[in-house]
Amino acid sequence: MPIFRSKAPLRISLAGGGTDVSPYPEERGGAVLNCTIDKFAYATLKVNDSGPASATVHSLDYNLSVNYARAEDLTYNGELDLVKAALRVLRTISGNDGGAYELFLHSDAPPGTGLGTSSTMAVALVGAFQRYLRQTWTPYEVAELAYRIERVELGFKGGRQDQYAAAFGGFNFIEFFRDRTIVNPLRIPPDVLNELAYRLLLTYTGTGHYSNDIIERQQRSYADKSGRTSEALDATKQLAIDMKNELLRGNIDEMGRLLDRGWQLKKQFTEGISSPHIDQIYDRARAAGALGGKLVGAGGGGYLLFLCDFERRAGVAKSVQDAGGNVVEMSLEMAGVQSWAVRSETGTPSASPPEAAPARG
């Protein structure tokens, strides 16, 4: 039985997040600066082309296994809806409604933490099917397929930066327009990359978030022509350009100050971006020597990213832990989505998932 695996890297957004969310990029053009880290979403696909049409999904993150044997099993009901949407879209593209699929899915970070986990899982799923279908999709096409799965088919609110970051990998300055997206990979000298990685600090706040609600409020505020929201988004786009320039110049201290500026702007997008708990962690980190920081997702919870003075990084780490945060070790990852074929049964996933239950709903 053929086995195909894929992994896609999670991302940290450095600047410009929110300007990739419609209708802003269609009307004014958006821009983000992000990079990927050594935390991944993984997908394994086992295929039995001669078997009856069905799909068995093992989500190791949720300790859940479900079998979808009928078309109505793929109804969206809040349970593994992203996977259902991927199966609907990718089966249509393949032109083959037959065969039995078995999927094993897991991620290094749970959904709702601001690292783009759901979008990255969509990219990993596209990568696994790309290998199985022997398609020569470009990173642009992979990203757009993942966007179609999550934003169009499933209707989840959000922009495009997560899918493009996972598909391309590395440091990218990404521009969003009405009819196209342009990815500008940045060539950063190794000395600058090493110094930046050494001085970054990723902290889990202990609380998740539901980005759909926050992004919907942001869209409403912008659509209502709220001057505060529009001005904050315009300034955030310019800040992404400025931070890209400082990164290329190797001005890491200035990047820290721009991170802080970006966080202050982000809190103007809509209500619910921050919370007293997040503010406490942030303020303590700044007092301990962080040059700046921000939530790396839509807001409300998840991960805070700090850029520290190199002599005070350990003190910042202690301060955020004392405030209830949890420091997460990470490194920068330069590769985007990767997929490969497993050539023997010795490569069968070693995890023993629970017995598949019939689909509910």
Q: Quote the pLDDT of residue 350.
A: 41
CA-CA distance, 79 to 67, in Å (whole number)?
12
Among the ranges given (110-114, 176-180, 241-245), the one the predictor scored with the smallest mean pLDDT: 110-114
Q: Number of structural domains, the chain? A: 2
Same domain? For 231 and 303 the reply is yes
Residue environment code for 196-231, b if the CB has 16+ CB neighbours within 10 A, otherwise e: beebbbbbbbeebbebeebbebbbebbeeebeebbe
339, 303: one domain: no
Note the residue count of the chain: 361
138 shares a domain with 99: yes
In a shared domain, residues 271 and 336? no
Q: Is 224 a catalytic residue?
A: no
| Mean pLDDT, residues 327-356 | 74
pLDDT tens-place string over residues 286-331 = 999 999 999 887 667 789 999 999 899 999 999 999 999 999 999 9
Mean pLDDT, the chain, rounded, equals 88
pLDDT exceeds cutoff 80 at 225:
no
On whether both 199 and 181 belong to a single domain, the answer is no
Residue 116, pLDDT above cutoff 50: yes
Q: Determine the pLDDT at residue 209.
A: 53
Per the structure block, which two tokens stand in for 37?
């880290």
Residue 151 is given by DSSP the state I
Asked if the model's pLDDT at residue 356 lies above 60, the reply is: no
Per-residue pLDDT, averaged over 334-352, amounts to 72
Task: Answer yes or no: do 68 and 138 share one domain.
Answer: yes
> In this structure, are 156 and 300 located in the same domain?
no
If you search the block for the tokens 């929201």, which residue do you land on? 229
Hey, which bits of the chain come out as E strands? 3-15, 30-48, 54-59, 64-68, 100-107, 171-176, 181-185, 200-204, 290-295, 303-308, 326-328, 332-333, 338-342, 357-358
Domain range for 161: 1-186+332-361
Domain co-membership, 281 together with 352? no
End-to-end CA, the chain: 30
CATH at 49: 3.30.230.10
134 and 112 in one domain?
yes
Residue 251 is part of a domain; what is its CATH number? 3.30.70.890
**For residue 346, is pLDDT > 60?**
no
- Looking at the chain, the number of H-run helices and the number of E-run strands are 11, 14
Q: Please report the pLDDT score of residue 274 as a whole number.
A: 84
Claim to verify: residue 36 and residue 152 sit in the same structural domain: yes
Question: Is a pLDDT exceeding 80 seen at residue 269?
Answer: no
**Hey, what amino acid is at 94?**
S
* Whether pLDDT at 114 is above 60: yes
Q: Are residues 324 and 235 in the same domain?
A: yes
Q: Are strands 54-59 and 332-333 parallel, antiparallel or unpaired?
A: unpaired
Annotated catalytic residue, options 20, 81, 108, 162? 162
Which range has the worst mean pLDDT, 19-23, 65-69, 264-268, 349-353? 349-353
pLDDT band at 227 (very low <50, low <70, confident <90, very high): low
Same domain, 223 and 168: no
Q: Are 58 and 104 within 8 A, CB to CB? A: yes
Per-residue pLDDT of 57-113, as tens digits, reads: 999 988 899 999 988 899 999 899 999 999 999 988 877 666 789 999 999 987 767
For the cut 60, the answer to whether the pLDDT of residue 284 exceeds it is yes
Q: Which residue has the higher pLDDT, 115 or 218?
A: 115
